[in-house]
Amino acid sequence: MKFMLFVLPTVPGTLEDRKRFRPIGRNNERYQQMLDELRKLAVLADDAGFDVFATTEHHFHSEGYEASVAPLLLYADLAARTKRIKFAPLGLVLPAWDPIRAAEELAVFDHLTRGRLYAGFARGYQDRWVNVLGQQYHVTGAPMDGSAIDQHNRRVYEEAVQVIKKAWTEETFEFNGQYYKVPFPYAEGIRRWPVAEWTRQYGAPGEIDDQGVLRKICVIPRPYQEPHPPMFQPFSVSETTIRYTAQSGIVPWILVAYPPEFRRLCRVYQEVGEAAGRRLRPGESVGAFRAVHFGRTEAEAVALLRDTNYAGFNSYFGGFGFWEAFRTPEDATRYPLEPYTALPPAEWTVERMRAVKYALAGTPEQVRAEVDDLQSLGGGGTLEWFGWFFDQGFMPWEEEVRQIELFAKHIIPRFR
């Protein structure tokens, strides 16, 4: 199994600090403290044997939580301080990007690090910033609820992935999509290119037609990895997303945790992938996100979970619908999906997190047994990727180090 350390870059501080220094996200001293922690964490993860270090992409987070504004810039700094660990944005929110600029910047990072990149892409669910930065596509933030807004974001996202793959794999290309055109204007072509002869002689074949009109483009550089960096899609919940990623050769990071449902989605991925010509073993090319907390006793580990990952879900992620990933069959009667009835805050409990096997909290031996069951898919396969949702910024630095060291000692060697 391969291991990812997934971090929400968080400006360190208690809730009292966040009130006192508001907006703490613009406090330079605390922001530097966050960068220092991330640098040390990346080195620890590299030495511990993690395969990938990953963060989100989010903007305008004045509260200092998920302060992950420019992940590729951050990774360039971290890559220079580490030896072998790879990096993955989880993910670049494509409806808020120009897809060709995303393809270029990822390819440059791939070259700078000689292949230490996984390309992660997402659709966007936070209105505060997606509405602003995604306005060129008329997208807005949306929960993963299958609504008209969610479907629009999905279409924009999938078209952007098409453009990025073309930019990476085709020497020259044109594209006439619903939201994006290459060249622009598409039918007319780009006619004001006074150095057409220069491009005809030294540029990529096919860029210029016989009349000197630019009809295709050549995106440089192509990625260092062939044919392109492997691709991730984070926080997969719906079967629609699992099917799309299986057809597209993308690794889904599945947030759904209830073991029978998680295993079902793994089977769906395998079946759809095989129908698309991919020979897959059960669990291959699939990732699971889990929270992990070690304690000298189970009670100590659960207390740490309550103060860190659970606190984030209860106060923050719950507002965006993420507790829906922790449903069980018993919820179907009280909170049906048709018509859609969300889990109410009364159901947002530590006990639910643990019961569905999202939160793995206990002694090292207890956590290892939980990971063992997850990896084996209950005896039905072998999971390829394990992602640890790590609570940087919510624990004292000494506790962060202790948790990493315990994972490196008790988990990675057992499953490597």
Query: If we measure between CA atoms, which residue out of 246, 234, 306, 300 comes closest to residue 273?
Result: 246
> CA 86 to CA 266: how far, in whole Å?
24
How many CA atoms lie within 13 Å of 124's alpha carbon, on the beta-carbon side?
31
Query: If we measure between CA atoms, which residue out of 114, 112, 85, 75 comes closest to residue 5?
Result: 85
Q: Per-10-residue mean pLDDT for the chain, 416 residues long? A: 97 92 96 97 98 97 96 98 98 96 98 98 94 94 80 94 98 98 98 97 96 98 98 91 96 97 97 97 97 98 97 94 95 92 96 98 98 96 97 93 98 95
Query: If we measure between CA atoms, which residue out of 100, 91, 231 comes closest to residue 164?
Result: 100
Round the CA-based radius of gyration of the chain to a whole number and report it: 22
Query: Measured in whole angstroms, how far is the alpha carbon of residue 386 from the centre of its chain?
Result: 13
> CA 348 to CA 321: how far, in whole Å?
11
In the chain, where the domains are located: 2-159+226-415
Contact in structure between 103 and 114 (CB atoms under 8 Å): no
Angle at 376 between CA 380 and CA 120, to 5 degrees: 105
**pLDDT reported for residue 129:** 95
**pLDDT reported for residue 29:** 97
**pLDDT reported for residue 146:** 73
**pLDDT reported for residue 282:** 95
Per residue in 60-78, pLDDT tens?
A: 999 999 999 999 999 999 9
CATH of domain 2-159+226-415: 3.20.20.30
> CA 115 to CA 165: how far, in whole Å?
17
Q: Give how far Cα 80 sits from Cα of 37, 39, 74, 149, Å.
A: 15, 10, 10, 40
> CA 243 to CA 249: how far, in whole Å?
10
Per residue in 286-345, pLDDT tens?
A: 999 999 999 999 999 999 999 999 999 999 999 999 999 999 999 999 999 888 899 999
